[in-house]
Amino acid sequence: MDQVREVLRYHDYAYRTEQTYCQWIRRYIYFFGKKAHPRDLGPSDIERFLSDLAAKKQVAASTQRQALNALMFLYRDVLDIQIGSRTQPVRSRRKPIVPTVLGRDEIKNLFRHIHGTHSLMAGLLYGSGLRLMECVRLRIKDIDFDRKRIHVLGKGDKWRSTILAEPVIPLLQNHVSRVTDLHRTDLQKGYGQVFMPPALARKYPEASRETGWQYVFPAKKISADPRSGVERRHHVLESGLQKAVKTAARKAGISKRVTCHTLRHSFATTMLEDGINIRTLQEIMGHADVKTTKRYTHVMDNDISRLKSPLDSMDI
């Protein structure tokens, strides 16, 4: 497992990905009773493990695919064994997902019960369509107040731009000002470094102390980096906002299952209802395939009474 971590870090995998891959590899080893080294197992054994996840554990298709990716990494990059596409496990059924969406009145009621920094973060999820971790990892340099844009580093390390809602701007400006003061204090105490992607850290060794690279939502306390052991201020834990949103939904009397991702779904659906082009929405949401964006057409409010027939503009 130390070797797995070493290779993951050599390839600059995210810490969360490292944790996930290590978890799946451990489960794979334990599945065979810790009696065999992975190099002594093969495609048929991978099939057994993945099929068990689908048939007995009944995991989602995305979870089974995540386990497969972890094992492919183990064999290809760590053990240097080519498995290829020889594995044909029992596949988990891909269930059609209809996103949970809140109406405008429900959103207003929800925000009455969220306060402070959590209210600002939730405003970015709903007002800009950010994913939870995109919001948590947002850096000061990524906010363009003049052009009312947010530059987001999303899945697959792909950049995109999304809108910055007017009501959020003054609140966010005041918040960034306080974060800047906090960073100045950290520098005076001999801290002030922030985590940087390894390649950028090597190229710009002083950038980690610059204000622009600091997290918009920093943690309250300085802590040791789990990989390097360097003491610095990380971003806030996502669990705080998750709890705040669930608590607010309960207090607001919303019976739907509300999560942080529900706010992103609601953003997309409302934008479609307001007439945005679906391709533009795809870019704003950071979807690789427009089919993902089209899911929201099934839950949007299609008011046929507002539509006009093409015949209305003709004299016949």
Q: Are 225 and 195 in contact (CB under 8 A)?
A: yes
How many other C-beta atoms can be found within 10 angstroms of the C-beta atom of residue 172? 20
Looking at the annotation, which residues are catalytic? Answer: 131, 155, 261, 264, 287, 296
Positive/negative CA dihedral, 181, 184, 188, 189? positive
How many other C-beta atoms can be found within 10 angstroms of the C-beta atom of residue 201? 14
- Please tell me the distance from the alpha carbon of residue 161 to that of residue 140, in angstroms, as a whole number: 14
Any idea what the Cα angle at residue 274 is, between residues 130 and 103, rounded to 5°? 65
Task: Give the list of residues 6+ apart from residue 313 with CB closer than 8 angstroms, or none.
Answer: none
Q: What tokens were used for 218?
A: 């920093």
Q: What tokens were used for 158?
A: 């792909």
